[in-house]
Amino acid sequence: MLILASASPRRRELLTQAGVRFKVHPAHIAEDPQPGEEPIGYVTRLAREKAEAVYFELTGELGAGGQADGCGDADADPLAVLGADTTVTLDGQILAKPADAADAARMLRMLSGRSHRVITGVALKTAEGTEVAAEVTAVRFLTLSDEEIAAYVATGEPMDKAGAYAVQGGAARWIPRIEGCYFNVMGLPLALVCAMLEARLGGRGVL
C-alpha cells in the first residue's frame, strides 16, 4: 500500500495521472528552514521527515509489521510512504509559501525578469529504510508590472505555493522557458518518483 504524505491536490492529481494507486495521509510537521540550510538539503529533509512521520504513525496503528491490514498476513501489501516538499530558490535564497499578500508580491517582484530554480525533494519510506532524492528545474519569468503582480496576488492563487506562483495556473503566461521536469515545478517530479517506486516496490500494488 502506497501512502502519499501530502495534502497537495496537485500531487494527488499527478500521481493519479501517472496511474499510481495510493491513499492520502498528510503529514503535519514544521516546514521552517534551519539556520544556514541549503535549498536541496531543506527539501530533502522535509520530504524525509514527512514520509517517516506518517510511516511511524501508521505502523503504530497497524502493528510493528507495517502490514496494510494490521493482521500480520504475509500476503498483505507492505506499507510504503511517499513524502515530498517543493521550494523555489533565487540567488541561494529559499522562497517558500508566502506568509501573506505582501510577501507574495515581494517574491514575485524578485522573480520578475529572471531565472530561478524549483527544487523538489522526495522520500520513499518502507520497512527497508528511506530513499531520498531531489529534482531541480530552471524556470524563466518575464518582467512583471506592479499591476500584474497585484492582480495575480488578488486572485489568491499564490498563497499556498512555493515562490508565490502556480505554473499550471495564472502565472503560466509569464513563463517562456523551462529547463528540466515540468511536473517538478507543479510539485512532484513524476519520472523520478515512478522510478523510485519501481526500484523499491517493483510496481507491486502501486503501478
Give me the active site residues, please.
85
Q: How many Å is the maximal CA-CA distance in the chain?
A: 61
Q: How far is CA 130 from CA 95, 175, 180, in A?
A: 26, 35, 25
Cell (9 digits) for 137: 528545474
Q: Is 76 left (phi over 0), alpha (psi -120 to 50) or beta?
A: beta
- Phi first, then psi: give them for residue 139, nearest 5 degrees: -130, 130
C-alpha cell at 163: 515562490
